[in-house]
Amino acid sequence: MMPYMAVYTPGQVVEETGFSLDTLRYYERIGLLGNVGRNSAGQRRFTDGDVGWLGMIRCLRDTGMPIAEMLRFAELTRAGDHTIPERIRLLEAHDRQVEEQVADLRHKQGAIQRKIDYYKDHVIVPEAI
């Protein structure tokens, strides 16, 4: 008896990941998303593994990793466990960039908060109705 493996339609994956159908097709075409299975009618069917991978891609994309680096990460992942040290280096470099982005945003947030405080101290704001 074969173990049950969940499969998802493209629409379900769109709902789950927030990626558009066009983005899913693009990621598959450029090799960022591995070979997606198809049913007997040729329609794409995604696995839990595909959905999990897309979650990682979403994280990397949302934190500013360029597609070229995401492709490199995908290639390394597919190549096997012997590439784990290189994957770690790639992710550590990206993590440092994310830390810099967060620090920059915190600095900018401070400027926004100082402007709010200035307005509150120097301008009479009518009470909200």
Domain map of the chain by residue range? 7-123
Tell me the three state secondary structure of residue 69. Answer: helix
Distance CA 54, CA 36 (A): 12
The whole-number pLDDT of residue 40 equals: 87
3-class DSSP state for residue 37? strand
Q: How far apart are CA 129 and CA 127, in angstroms?
A: 6
User: What CA–CA distance (Å, rounded) separates 111 from 99?
Assistant: 19
Task: Return the pLDDT at 126.
Answer: 67
User: According to the CATH classification, is domain 7-123 in 1.10.1660.10?
Assistant: yes
Q: What was the pLDDT predicted at 1? A: 58
Q: What is the mean pLDDT of each run of 10 residues along the chain (129 residues)?
A: 76 94 95 90 91 96 97 97 98 98 97 94 70
Q: Specify the pLDDT at position 125.
A: 63
Gap between the Cα atoms of 22 and 28, Å rounded: 10
Q: Which residue is it, tokens 């620090």?
A: 103
Residues 6+ apart with CB under 8 A from 6: 47, 48
Q: What is the pLDDT of residue 108?
A: 98
